[in-house]
Structure 1
Amino acid sequence: MFRWYPFTIILHDRDRGEVQSVRLKLDPGAKVTGIAVTAAFQRGDTVVWAAELHHRGDQIRQALLTRRALRHARRNRKTRYRKPRFDNRRRPEGWLPPSLVSRVENVVTWVERLRRFAPLTHLSMELVRFDTQKLQDPEIHGVEYQQGTLFGYEVREYLLEKWGRKCVYCGAEDVPLEVEHVVPRSRGGTDRVSNLTVACHECNQAKGNQSLEEFLHHDPERLRQIKAGLKTSLKGAAVVNATRWALFRRLQATGLPLEVGSGGRTKYNRAVQGYPKAHWIDAACVGELGERMRLHPEMQVTRIVAKGHGTRRRCGTDKHGFPIRHAPAAKSYMGFRTGDLVRATIPRGKNTGRHVGRIAIRHRPSFRLNGFDVHPKYLKILQRGDGYAYATE
């Protein structure tokens, strides 16, 4: 056995040197990226390994905001008369905020890892979430699928994401939703996405050709929320759109053939095959090759959570920015580091037995493992910490 997560073995002897063609498929997201490794069998392309990669971009953003507030307060105290110097800073071309760079680097890291663990020959990724040209101009030409049924999936998927996959009028979830015109077409309403929402069948029929104000005159709060929602954009979509081209260029640099597709095509492929909604299933259905994808009904999906490699900050502060604690400079103790995957064999006590998990060290012989304290003498390292936490679902 070479590695626990992803579970990898090395064969000591082989009869032939031929290897199977393997494709890595990605569905990048703002919070979770779906990953699927597929192989070509006689019965068709099949998913052989799948994972969902959870990003920590929001944590990085919050940490940067906290740091900015502390620095701002310190500058006001120490250098209140100093002239601002932010005009001296220059951002290079293609610059992205650290929270977005983290998302790109997480995906690239796992692409490189999987290239070492499996003979990858092709890459596929969902490049754009929505076909914005098609949303603005339904008569656009030049791409074959845009003249067919896929356009409805582009608009519908956009609306489902925008309105949280629930009826905007009654809040019903997990029911079939229909595209609904806020201003009815009989009253001059258009098919622009700014005039569309999603509603359940009962609410759609009850509204009929009434205006929004007439239908929700008894619920002014919901009326206000819907009007505000019509003007808001998708924060997650903005994050994805800002990072996908950077990821696309990084994947191109690997030298592997790269296939791309849109979010509408992904959903169309998944709906035609009758698969449920999941990030790893979306990854498997990316692109033209996702039209015919076999999934094992008992597939165990690896959950990968980005944790980082600790912090360089040695001084902890209170809410006012004053020092209250100092962390040791050393990051290891008795050969262990926070994030190592270990197996604990505890001979006695209330936690007797074998436990496997990710440890958090202290600079004393008492580590934290799965919610309880354990002495390092009972621990054995299974896999060194690599900045990620793992689980199998």
Structure 2
Amino acid sequence: MSKVFVVDSSGKPLDPVHPGYARLLLKQGKAAVYRRYPFTLILKKTIEQTHVKPLRIKLDPGSKTTGIAIVDDTSGEVVFAAELSHRGHVIKDALDSRRAIRRSRRQRKNRYRKARWQNRKNKKNGWLPPSLESRIANILTWVRRLSRFCPIQAISQELVRFDTQLMENPEVKGVEYQQGTLAGYEVREYLLEKWNRHCAYCGKTDVPLQIEHIHPRANGGTNRISNLTLACEKCNTAKGTKDIKDFLKKKPEVLKRIEAQAKKPLKDAAAVNATRWALFERLKATGLPVEVGTGGLTKFNRTSRELPKTHWLDAACVGKSTPERIIAKDIVPLLIKATGHGNRQMCLPDKYGFPRTSAKGAKKVKGFQTGDIVKAVVTKGKKVGTYVGRVAVRVSGSFNVTTSTGIIQGISYHYCQMLHQCDGYSYQKGEVAFPPTA
């Protein structure tokens, strides 16, 4: 398992400890639970620790998921691992919905509304849309948060780059190439991302995949990235030099999906390209030394150390500082999902943009708010038992608690005890990357 973070009575981070020792500290009454996610203990008495091991936080930024690993450079031990899922697509969908409502409202014959675009400020240099800004904010939030609970002294970031222009036109060079983005990931890495690491024809995963020409070169097909896909050996051999329409004439839905996906640009690549330098500059602003590494180096480090492909293990292999041996056999990653802090709308609108519900009530009720993780110990009534989960508050003080087994309705706030306040993220335990062998 991941080690447990420990801070002294003044909040200063100490060396992380083994979970067994953490249980002993709690049992002996020498420490208390300071935070549930990430699990952190606070010592009840001040101690002087002469030497604290410096640790390094390593980041593998992605458009949808970012891998996080805290590594001891001297021993190669992974102290903590997490996978952070972003919500950029949710923000983009919300902005699109709001824009559609505003556009329809302007087109109706309502009262005259004075133009507002003349008083809007110009966008500053380095401005990013909210969907991309949220990705950077999520990563910075967790870098700062982990730095409060763990003695982090350095940062490693994978500086991911996709050269979409070079992959669309492999012959581009000279001035034309300088006008595009710089070279980065290989074509194979790009295709693995674009086709979600599965065979385009049969959908198999976790098998060796080969680069396949959608329209065969023998029939005039090109090496452009839009003409390449991934296929398992069986499907690649069966297709041969056949035209894709002949090969998939009995599977029209698969043909339609492949043709649409081939023309679709890789939005994730554009998102990573747009945010990588902004993230680097903001990480430097933390005052910690920042090391950068390429995606190719990360893959080399992972394969040479014979590690499986996961986001957090990719993060552990970022940069030249990667130890020769990575100790991560029993690590259980923390799966973090950005959920936001709720909706700021005072009421919900109808399809015309007019309010259809009453205004919101108080956000907090009896010291609790929706999204808090609570422990409810019910001692009497029909719902006697202990329930742990996220709470949904009501003004009446009768709450709903969502547990792993279902929703328990009508729990009085008197029975609820706060475990973890809502912080805009949901948490779940991941799976061990190295399953035990039989």
TM over 0.5: yes
Query: Residue in 2 aligned with 1:120?
Result: 152
Deviates more, 1:375-384 or 1:226-235: 226-235
| Secondary structure at 2:153 match in 1 | strand
Query: Residue in 1 aligned with 2:206?
Result: 174
| Secondary structure at 2:82 match in 1 | strand
Give the distance between the partners of 1:220 and 1:365, measured in 2 at CA: 55
Deviation track 1:42-67 (CA, whole Å, cap 9, x = no partner) reads: xx311111112222222222222232
Deviation track 1:248-269 (CA, whole Å, cap 9, x = no partner) reads: 1111111211112233332333
Q: Counterparts in 2 of 1:44-59, with a 5 A limit?
A: 44-59=75-90
Deviation track 1:288-322 (CA, whole Å, cap 9, x = no partner) reads: 23463524333122122222223332122233333
> In the alignment, does 2:66 pair up with 1:29?
no
| Secondary structure at 2:345 match in 1 | coil
| Secondary structure at 1:245 match in 2 | helix
Query: Residue in 1 aligned with 2:408?
Result: 372
1:387 to 424, 430, 433: 424
Query: Would the aligned equivalents of 1:179 and 1:197 in 2 still touch at CA under 8 Å?
Result: yes
Give the distance between the partners of 2:113 and 2:367, measured in 1 at CA: 47
Indicate the structure whose relative CO is greater, using CA pairs within 8 Å and at least 6 residues apart. 1
Deviation at 1:77, TM superposition (A): 3.7
Query: Residue in 1 aligned with 2:21?
Result: none
State the superposition RMSD in angstroms. 3.0
Q: Look up the equivalent residue of 1:364 and give its one-letter code.
A: S
Deviation at 1:234, TM superposition (A): 0.8
> In the alignment, does 2:192 pair up with 1:160?
yes
> Identity over the aligned pairs, expressed in percent?
52
Deviation track 1:171-196 (CA, whole Å, cap 9, x = no partner) reads: 33332111223455566766553443
Deviates more, 1:287-296 or 1:381-390: 287-296
Deviates more, 1:205-214 or 1:240-249: 205-214
Q: Look up the equivalent residue of 2:408 and give its one-letter code.
A: F
Q: Counterparts in 2 of 1:1-393, with a 5 A limit?
A: 1-11=33-43, 12-41=45-74, 44-77=75-108, 79=110, 86=117, 89=120, 90-130=122-162, 154-182=186-214, 184=216, 191-212=223-244, 215-216=247-248, 222-290=254-322, 292-349=324-381, 351-370=383-402, 371-373=407-409, 374-393=411-430
Deviation at 1:117, TM superposition (A): 1.0
Q: Can you give the 5+ residue segments of structure 2 that lack an aligned partner in the other structure?
A: 1-32, 174-182, 431-438
| Secondary structure at 2:63 match in 1 | coil
Name the one with the larger helix percent: 1
Say if 1:79 and 1:9 are closer, same or farther in 2 by CA, change over 3 A: same
| TM-score (normalised: structure 2) | 0.77
Say if 1:33 and 1:211 are closer, same or farther in 2 by CA, change over 3 A: same
| TM-score (normalised: structure 1) | 0.85
Give the distance between the partners of 2:78 and 2:292, measured in 1 at CA: 18
| Secondary structure at 2:400 match in 1 | strand
Q: Look up the equivalent residue of 1:40 and give its one-letter code.
A: D
Give the distance between the partners of 1:163 and 1:252, measured in 2 at CA: 34
Give the distance between the partners of 1:227 and 1:73, measured in 2 at CA: 33
Query: Residue in 2 aligned with 1:144?
Result: none
Give the distance between the partners of 1:28 and 1:220, measured in 2 at CA: 36
Give the distance between the partners of 2:251 and 2:108, measured in 1 at CA: 50
What is the number of residues matched between the two proteins?
Answer: 381
Q: Look up the equivalent residue of 2:92 and give its one-letter code.
A: R
Say if 1:219 and 1:328 are closer, same or farther in 2 by CA, change over 3 A: closer
Deviates more, 1:194-203 or 1:114-123: 194-203
| Secondary structure at 2:387 match in 1 | strand
Say if 1:224 and 1:311 are closer, same or farther in 2 by CA, change over 3 A: closer
| Secondary structure at 1:40 match in 2 | coil
Give the distance between the partners of 1:367 and 1:332, measured in 2 at CA: 12
Deviation track 1:137-178 (CA, whole Å, cap 9, x = no partner) reads: 6999xxxxxxxxxx9973222111112222223333332111
Deviation at 1:329, TM superposition (A): 4.7
Query: Would the aligned equivalents of 2:73 and 2:321 in 1 still touch at CA under 8 Å?
Result: no
Say if 1:87 and 1:183 are closer, same or farther in 2 by CA, change over 3 A: farther
Deviates more, 1:269-278 or 1:82-91: 82-91
Query: Would the aligned equivalents of 1:266 and 1:290 in 2 still touch at CA under 8 Å?
Result: no
| Secondary structure at 1:49 match in 2 | strand
Deviation at 1:7, TM superposition (A): 0.9
Give the distance between the partners of 1:82 and 1:28, measured in 2 at CA: 43
Deviation at 1:85, TM superposition (A): 5.2
Deviation at 1:130, TM superposition (A): 3.4
